[in-house]
Structure 1
Amino acid sequence: MAGTDGTSGPPAARPWQVALVVALYVIALGAVRLGLSPFLEIDEAQFVGAVDLRLVYANSHPPLYNWLVRGALELTGWRWPLAVAFVKAALLATTYLLVFDAVRRLAGPTTGVLALALAALMPQVSWMSAHTLAHSVLVLAGAVGVVAALTATARRATSAAFLALGVAAAVGALGKANIVLLLGGLTVAATLDPFWRGRFADLRALLAPAAFALLAGPAYLAAALQLEASTARVAKLYDDGPFSALDVPLVGLDGVLSLALSALASGGLVALLVAIFARTPPPLDEAAEATRRLLWRAMGIGLGALAALVAAADATVVHERYLIPLLAPLPVVAALHLSGWPRRGAVVAAGATAFAVVPAAMAAMTAFDDHRFARPYDALLAPLVDDLPAGRIGVVSWRHDLAANLTLALRRAGREADILGDPLAGAPDLALAVDRREGRPPEAPPGFCTVRSTSIEAPLRNLTGRTMTLRATIARPC
């Protein structure tokens, strides 16, 4: 039986059906996440104390995710778990639907579903994005939006397509600066390709850079004026990596090897499927072939440029999440290659299984590991709450996620509490310094004098039988 898009197999899913499945899936993910804990994962917790609508934040990321969380907090009555779950669900739904739509425009809805399944086989897209990542989810949505806008442009160069391209690129750039790897690769690849030179030889194409500059320009100008804050995370390229033992002077050999490993871990399975079963894609029309060609070349140029940069900078490690925007086109081009493979149904089944495993794995990790969702923040604070003097509490810790979750626990207990130094908070009447590490209690923060210190232990909220110890110091302004 022929599919409605001309491929063999069952009838193609209709776009509204795919949209419904995606919506139900992300709602289920959000429900599982909210059911697991009223507290925050590490990437969720970074926004506590950082939603005051600045252009530059201390975590060195561009500001859009912080702004989205602030908007969700306003909509949800400042319910933190609900707000961060809402933003994550919206971005994941947008990403999945854009992957489907990009391929649907090129090769029909059946191949669009295949692209979604291939995306599920990329751990950073299906697992890490759903479980813990934040800014990387936003840059992924922006990168996939760029790909979808390019597919629309390939079909028909319109003002709307060029505008969408600029907006998507700006969204990605306001999520994470590493989208430059994809945008740079696309720019070079398009410049070298006659089809794309023809598409962009149109005055309306100027809408793309104009929209990008208008939307992303102010944040990047502010970042340039505050380089110390906006570039602090560059130091993470020099953390110990899996190949640090192979470090050689002046050349980042270990970093290049780390990059290769991260690329294989992120997209190796999808690339392997193409290499083994579909090196040559089935016949494509001019627009689809030009898009396939452009995206492959862009990824190759981006990876090559990053490898050269890592080697020249003598960097030591490239984490998988750094490659998320650069590899965003992979499920799209892979689906075009595999659309004629007789056993592509097995890929769809494997992808559906991978997506289905994610919420179950989140629940299992919470139940059987020392996960932040299982940590007993309420129980740890219970012995302290009644003894804490009246007034606003400023919570501080060397681990921001610990301070953030204990702030939320104090609020759940009816106390006024904020991260110490939160620009939206008033001056604290006392400080609560907290730590999980063994040893002496944490010191009072500058400007505060210790009232007393204590140590509390409580069992994790799961099946491990383990406990968590909290060391706390209560202090007043000196």
Structure 2
Amino acid sequence: MESTIDLKPGSVNPRHVFLLLAGYFVLHLLFRYFVSDSLELDEAEQLLLTQELRLGYGSQPPLYTWLQAGFFSIFGTSVFALAAVKNILLFLTYFFVFSSAKEITNDDNRAVIAMVSLLMIPQFFWESQRDLTHSVLGTTIAACTLFIAVRLFKTGRLKYYVLFGLCAGAGIISKYNFGVFLVALLISAASVRSLRPRLCDRKILITVACLLLVITPHLYWAATNVKATLSQADKFQMARPIGLLQSYSMGLQKLAKAIAAFLGMLLPAYALFFYRKGRDIPAATAEGDYALLVKRMLLAGLFLCLLMILLFKVTVFKDRWMQPLLFATPVYLATLSRTRLANARGYFRFCLLVAVLVLLLLPGHTIFASRFGTYNRLNAPYSAFSAQLRQAGFRQGVIISQNRLTGGNLRMAFPDSVVLAPEVPRFDYRTGSDWLIVWDATKNAEMPDKLRKFAAEFVPADIKAVPPRIIEATSKYSTDRTMRLGFILLRKDVP
């Protein structure tokens, strides 16, 4: 009989792969730390949200912010702390994908292939490194939950019922669309006859209790802050004034594009290296049940997305929203009975090549921005702006920012200040403080009307009577591109 694996068992040493992977993420962390002390949008948002520990922060659940606040308390308010959280979570995602594939296939080779296949998904190798927060944590917990679920179905041990409940709760308070993954996982498990008894066991009540223990405080907050919780519901564009068929068509197109963007590189690469015509070789029964679990979970998750389109007329899907579900695609691919690993080393080398290119391109598109016209938020000269604001007399106080990007960058420079912005919750501040009102004046020197109205709610003075000032600085890694900030400084000791 033809073997599904023509590499010798153990020929891929997972320990060596994990050491390479750890080094890869350490380099990502160091490059992010040394390339720029300016922030991306989601990073800046975390600088603002971590000003206070709360049970909720508007439309996003709080777990990532709690975790980030813990790292800030250890490493200080810094880019290093931001990058450390991100890269630890990504490493753990790879680890749990490996662990799930190993549990299902009992084969280190296929588990390694599943793990490095994440390097073929742009959402993992680029977007998650560039600027994602809650989606990264939600995916890490989803990967852990899948592993725990497989262990639960295999052993039925009490500790896995407890861990499954805790992971499910943690996933919900990390990213709300984790719920799609969780429901899909439960539906798929219930559909597999050999796994169904585990869900009907009385110990599942302990799982539910652990789940409620984790999520109840946040659910209470969400129920008492409904407006804040639903503040970004319009991003799904469910109430667009278009016909039913047109909304369905638009939703289906967006969903298809999101899936294609997520898997459009992985599936062709996998087929190129591994697909071979030939007689189908059935997997072992136990392995087949868990492969069926993952397959049906993916299908159930996509079906739930279709229901969102049909029932709620959701017309927008983004590839990053698919991350806590479609991360499991490499796990399923590794279980396919047609998968031959004759080209496993070639595929592994190809994945490493992609990883090295990303490792160079990600910092390179900031460092060589002037040469290739790839300016981005990391090129913004906030360190130079901060120095000029200190020269103007601001040391600490209350900063009222036009948006979270500017506000987060200024809090990095003035960590003892309180930053307020229209896009984030309002935090406590001392009234007897200096006030700094600041906005991006690169295109328009005038203070935006929205910022003026927002600032008027807080500032104990007539800001119209204070002339604005403009500061200018050259973008990082540039000699001719400049950016300007407008600001008004109100000193507490100046009438």
Match of 1:62 in 2: 61
Alignment match, 1:467: 482
Q: Which residue of 1 aligns with 2:110?
A: 111
1:354 corresponds to: 354
1:377 corresponds to which residue? 382
Contact residue 250 and residue 312 of structure 1 kept, 8 A: no
Query: 1:210 & 1:22 partners in 2: Cα distance?
Result: 36
Q: Which amino acid aligns with 2:12?
A: A
Q: 1:188 to 1:455 in 2, by over 3 A?
A: same
Paired letter, 1:396: I
Q: Is 1:403 matched up with 2:407?
A: yes
- Aligned AA (2:319): E
8 Å contact 2:396–2:414 — kept in the other structure? no
Give per-residue Cα distances to partners, 1:394-439, cap 9 Å, x unaligned. Answer: 222232111111232345xxxx533137636534322222224522
Q: Hey, what's the Cα distance between the residues in 1 that align with 2:199 and 2:410?
A: 53
1:33-432 pair list within 5 angstroms: 33-51=32-50, 52-58=52-58, 60-76=59-75, 78-107=76-105, 108-238=107-237, 251-272=247-268, 277=275, 282-337=281-336, 339-367=339-367, 368=369, 369-388=374-393, 392-410=396-414, 416-420=416-420, 423=427, 425-427=429-431, 428-432=433-437
Aligned-partner Cα distance in 1 for 2:353–2:270: 20
Write the deviation string for residues 349-379 of structure 1: whole angstroms up to 9, x where unpaired. Answer: 2222222222212211212122222211122
Per-residue deviation, residues 247-299 of structure 1 (Å, max 9, x unmatched): 76773321221111001110233345667827997532233211111111111
- Give SS of 1:431's match: strand
How far the C-alpha of 1:43 sits from its partner, in A, is 0.9
Partners of 1:403 and 1:419 within 8 A in 2:
yes
Q: Matched residue of 1:452: which SS?
A: coil
Distance 2:363 2:480 in 1: 16
| TM-score when normalising by structure 1 | 0.89
For 1:178, the aligned partner's letter is N
- Residues 149 and 161, structure 1, Cα contact 8 Å, conserved in 2: yes
Letter of the structure 2 residue corresponding to residue 285 of structure 1: A
The DSSP-based 3-state class of the residue aligned with 1:194 is coil
Q: 1:96 to 1:251 in 2, by over 3 A?
A: same
Shift of 1:97: 0.7
Query: 2:366, 2:251 → 1: CA distance?
Result: 33
Identity of aligned residues (%): 24
Task: Answer yes or no: is the 8 Å Cα contact 1:239–1:316 preserved in 2.
Answer: yes
1:18 aligns with 2:14: no
Query: What's the secondary structure of 1:469's corresponding residue?
Result: strand
Tell me if the contact between 1:247 and 1:316 (Cα under 8 Å) persists in the aligned partners: no
Equivalent AA in structure 2 for residue 434 of structure 1: W
Q: Which amino acid aligns with 1:237?
A: F
Structure 1 residues 469 and 440, CA gap change in structure 2 (3 angstroms):
closer
Q: CA deviation at 1:137?
A: 0.3
1:230 alignment partner AA? T
How far apart, CA to CA, are the structure 2 residues paired with 1:130 and 1:265? 17
Q: 1:161 to 1:284 in 2, by over 3 A?
A: farther
Alignment gaps of 5+ in structure 2: none
**Does 1:438 pair with 2:436?**
no
| Separation (CA, whole Å) in 2 of partners of 1:249 and 1:30 | 46
5+ residue gaps in structure 1? none
C-alpha change, 1:273 and 1:21, in structure 2 (3 Å) is closer
- Offset of 1:110 from its aligned partner? 0.9
1:80 Cα shift? 2.4
Amino acid at match of 2:486: R
State the Cα deviation string for residues 30-61 of structure 1 (Å, max 9, x = none). Answer: 11110112232211111123222211113x11
Q: TM-score, normalised by structure 2?
A: 0.86
SS in 1 for 2:232: helix
SS at match of 1:102: helix
- The Cα offsets for residues 125-170 of structure 1, whole Å up to 9 and x where unpaired, read as 2221122110000000011111111232343222233223222222
* CA offset digits 1:376-395 (Å, max 9, x no partner): 11223433322236x63322
Determine if contact 2:420/2:427 at 8 Å carries over to the other structure: no
One-letter amino acid matched to 1:398: Q
- How far is the alpha carbon of 1:223 from its aligned partner? 1.2
Task: Work out the CA distance in 2 between the residues paired with 1:54 and 1:132.
Answer: 23
**Relative to 1, partners in 2 of residues 1:245 and 1:215: Cα closer, same or farther, differing over 3 Å?**
closer
CA shift in 2, pair 1:6/1:127, >3 Å: same
When residues 27 and 245 of structure 1 are mapped into structure 2, their CA distance, relative to the original with a 3 A threshold, is: farther
- Conserved? CA contact 2:401–2:419, under 8 Å: no
Q: In 1, Cα distance between the equivalents of 2:355 and 2:99?
A: 18
Partner Cα distance (1:6, 1:228) in 2: 55
**Structure-2 residue corresponding to 1:458:** 473
Supply the RMSD in Å over aligned alpha carbons: 2.9
Q: Which one is further off, 66-75 or 298-307?
A: 298-307
The question of whether the paired residues in 2 share the 8 Å contact of 1:256 and 1:311 is answered with: no
Deviation at 1:10, TM superposition (A): 7.7
Amino acid at match of 1:342: A
Shift of the alpha carbon at 1:473? 2.6
CA spacing shift, 1:453–1:328, aligned 2, 3 Å: same
Relative distance call for 1:453 and 1:86 in structure 2 (3 A) is same
Moved more, 245-254 or 205-214: 245-254
**How many Å separate the matches in 2 of 1:11 and 1:153?**
26
SS of the residue corresponding to residue 324 of structure 2 reads coil
Cα drift, residue 211 of structure 1: 1.9
Moved more, 64-73 or 170-179: 170-179
Is the CA contact 2:434–2:491 (under 8 Å) kept in the aligned structure 1? yes
